[in-house]
Homo-oligomer: A and B are copies of this chain.
Amino acid sequence: MSVSPLAPASGFPDLPVIKGVRFAAASAGVKYQDRDDVMLAVADAGSTVAGVFTRSSTRSAPVLDCQEKLLGDLSGAPVAILVNSGNSNAFTGGAGRASVNAIVAETAKAVGTLESRVFTASTGVIGERLPHDRIVNQIAKLNESLTENAAEAAAKAIMTTDTFAKGSYATFDQGGTTVNIAGFAKGSGMIAPDMATMLVYIFTDATVDAQVLQSILSGINETTFNAITVDSDTSTSDSLMLVATGAAGATPITDTNSPAAIEFVEALRTVMLELAHLVVKDGEGATKFVAVNVAGADTDVSAKKIALSIANSPLVKTAIAGEDPNWGRVVMAVGKSGAPADRDLLSIWFGDILVAENGWVADSYSETAGADYMKSPELAITVDIGLGVGTATVWTCDLTHQYITINADYRS
């Protein structure tokens, strides 16, 4: 498969080393051959960890296991994260749980930590038994090859239909100490709020209390990973984890409102937003990256409902694929959202071009200008509902022939 036209020209970024975290990747042959398909990340003792997961009622065995563990052990033992691609271990009944247990036990033993500090994820086809022995057989070797510099290899090992590896980082000064945040993600189909077949792992050498870390992660998630959609489908396996090693030796963050916390949140938001955008830019078949901004809704909740209705509309998304400035379909999507709206108060912009106002096409609008604008690979659609002060932004991509091609024969 060719690389998404929306992939960054600069390739995978040169991630900074996060002190206290090491990575390794290997080929276990779960489904893919001739490539790495399993990764291990280990963070030193004393690290804190937070996570956000899919809200699907049919979530996978690894997700259930992670959720239980995050509620429990705060022992400070080393944190291990083991992820495979090619098989999602979802809807695999009792066997799914047994696979998780086998992988967790072997990882804890090899790494030298508690099973309660081992987190796993699996991504790929649903409903097929995970051949976990193939993974278990690689764990000792993975542990021996851990290195601070293998984040890119880890990012590549967890890819499924992704066409490029996705990384992002931020470095900032906290009272004279340099703090780093680095993360990677895989997308790319089933991307929709709460959340997607999306796996995201972010590491920092900041020192952050575990509960504060969770609170920060959940808060930023709402306007980053929970504000992107590729096809409105929600995976059974979405996982976003954040690990803080404290190895930079900066001021401990024990309160979400402290100056140190605010600096950290700002840097983390940058990383999470960039990763979220990269996931959309690798949306299956995507050729356009689209920001949908809604203002003037009665509430923020309504604004997000309208923005998602636009961003998920197959008719809007196919029009974007066809570079057709079909604002009528935007009107349709506003109307079907279920949120309060008045046709005659709507205004719509494509980029900076005012397309419609007061319930009709703007006098100043020219179809030529609209059509020219739609040729850009990055687009913004802005709708003012004209009712109140509710706002939201979501990001999506277009719906193309390639999406159909990828998904009509994914398993073959």
Where the two chains meet, the residues of A that have a C-beta atom closer than 8 Å to any C-beta of B are 54, 56-59, 88, 90-95, 125-128, 189-190, 192, 194, 231-236, 312-315, 318-319, 321-322, 324, 326-329, 331-337, 339-344, 346, 356, 358-361, 399-401, 403-405, 407-412
Cβ B328 vs Cβ A126 within 8 A: yes
| Cα of A368 to Cα of B315 in the assembled complex, Å | 35
Cβ A91 vs Cβ B233 within 8 A: no
| Cα of A412 to Cα of B329 in the assembled complex, Å | 15
Cβ A318 vs Cβ B403 within 8 A: yes
What residues of B have a CB within 8 angstroms of the CB of A313 in the complex? Answer: 232-233
| Cα of A194 to Cα of B234 in the assembled complex, Å | 24
If A56-B336, A57-B334, A315-B190 touch, whether A411 touches B127 (CB-CB below 8 Å) is no
Cβ B57 vs Cβ A340 within 8 A: yes
What residues of B have a CB within 8 angstroms of the CB of A326 in the complex? Answer: 126, 410-411
| Cα of A411 to Cα of B405 in the assembled complex, Å | 24
If A91-B360, A233-B313 touch, whether A332 touches B56 (CB-CB below 8 Å) is yes
In the assembled complex, the CB of A299 is this many whole angstroms from the nearest CB of chain B, namely: 15
In-complex Cβ contact of A58 among B90, B94, B232, B335 (8 A): B335
Highest count of chain B CB atoms <10 Å: which of A59, A322, A399, A407: A407
Q: Is the interface of A mostly helix, strand, loop or mixed?
A: loop
What residues of B have a CB within 8 angstroms of the CB of A192 in the complex? Answer: 336
What residues of B have a CB within 8 angstroms of the CB of A95 in the complex? Answer: 360
What residues of B have a CB within 8 angstroms of the CB of A399 in the complex? Answer: 314, 404
Cβ A346 vs Cβ B408 within 8 A: no
Cβ B236 vs Cβ A411 within 8 A: no
Cβ A360 vs Cβ B93 within 8 A: yes
Cβ A58 vs Cβ B340 within 8 A: no
Q: Which residue of B lies closest to A323 (CB)?
A: B408
Cβ A335 vs Cβ B412 within 8 A: no
| Cα of A342 to Cα of B58 in the assembled complex, Å | 7
In-complex Cβ contact of A335 among B56, B88, B341, B356 (8 A): B56
In-complex Cβ contact of A189 among B126, B315, B340 (8 A): B315
Contacts A57-B337, A127-B356, A128-B361 known; list 5 others, CB within 8 Å.
A57-B335, A57-B340, A127-B328, A314-B314, A322-B407
In-complex Cβ contact of A318 among B88, B336, B342, B407 (8 A): B407
If A315-B189, A315-B231 touch, whether A321 touches B408 (CB-CB below 8 Å) is yes
